[in-house]
Structure 1
Amino acid sequence: MDLDPRRKRALFRANHRGMNENDILLGGFVKARIADLDPAELDQLEALMEENDNDLYLWIIGERPVPEAFDTSLMRKIKEFNNYIDK
């Protein structure tokens, strides 16, 4: 997979988080879908990766409500990819 520098950076950051759980949940999603993300989703991903790892983990698994700023189609795709979609 030949990625532009921005996507390569996002892929690296998603797989090298502060928590192994996020390496698996976020990193797995990004590895599988990075080539398909549009520029707006890349912006959302980069903003999401600036957040605290514990918060990010709890949002993905549904243990804490996702703040409005991050309640995007990208977050729903991440949750769905990891089978944590809200019923």
Structure 2
Amino acid sequence: MSDKPDQARLNKAKFRAWHRGTREADFMIGGYFDNRHAEWVEQELSWFEALLDEDDVDIMAWALGVQPPPERFTGPMMDALQRLDYVHIHK
């Protein structure tokens, strides 16, 4: 049995990541998904799904280091989000 996430869950997470309501949040959260999801296992997808339930303003504040993230979101996944090396803005 594989620990890889089910494709339907990944598709739903991708849609939610890219349809946040503002372009800035879409680029940050959607870009993070696109850049990282291929290496995720179930636990990491569950972390991301929980993150998607949070307000964009909070997620962006945590990613930019303006506010500390809640304990449940600290760790390697948040560290990767905070690097912002996945944000590519297309004109």
Candidates 7, 10, 17, aligned match of 1:14: 17
- 1:33 shift after superposition: 1.7
Runs of 4+ in 1 over 4 A off after TM superposition: none
Q: Give the distance between the partners of 1:10 and 1:72, measured in 2 at CA.
A: 20
Equivalence for 2:45: 42
Unaligned ranges ≥5, structure 2: 1-5, 86-91
Which letter does structure 2 place at the counterpart of 1:23? D
Is 1:5 the counterpart of 2:11 in the alignment? no
Q: Which of the pair has the greater relative contact order for Cα pairs under 8 Å at 6+ separation?
A: 2
Q: Give the distance between the partners of 1:63 and 1:29, measured in 2 at CA.
A: 18
Identity of aligned residues (%): 36
Q: Give the distance between the partners of 2:12 and 2:54, measured in 1 at CA.
A: 16
Unaligned ranges ≥5, structure 1: none
Q: Does the CA-based 8 Å contact 1:17-1:53 persist in structure 2? A: yes
- 1:19 shift after superposition: 2.6
> How many residue pairs are counted as aligned between the two chains?
80
Q: Give the distance between the partners of 1:20 and 1:64, measured in 2 at CA.
A: 21
Taking structure 1 as the reference length, the TM-score comes to 0.83
Candidates 76, 79, 82, aligned match of 2:79: 76
Task: Describe the SS at the equivalent of 2:81.
Answer: helix
Q: Which has the larger radius of gyration?
A: 2
Task: Give the RMSD, CA atoms, in angstroms.
Answer: 1.4
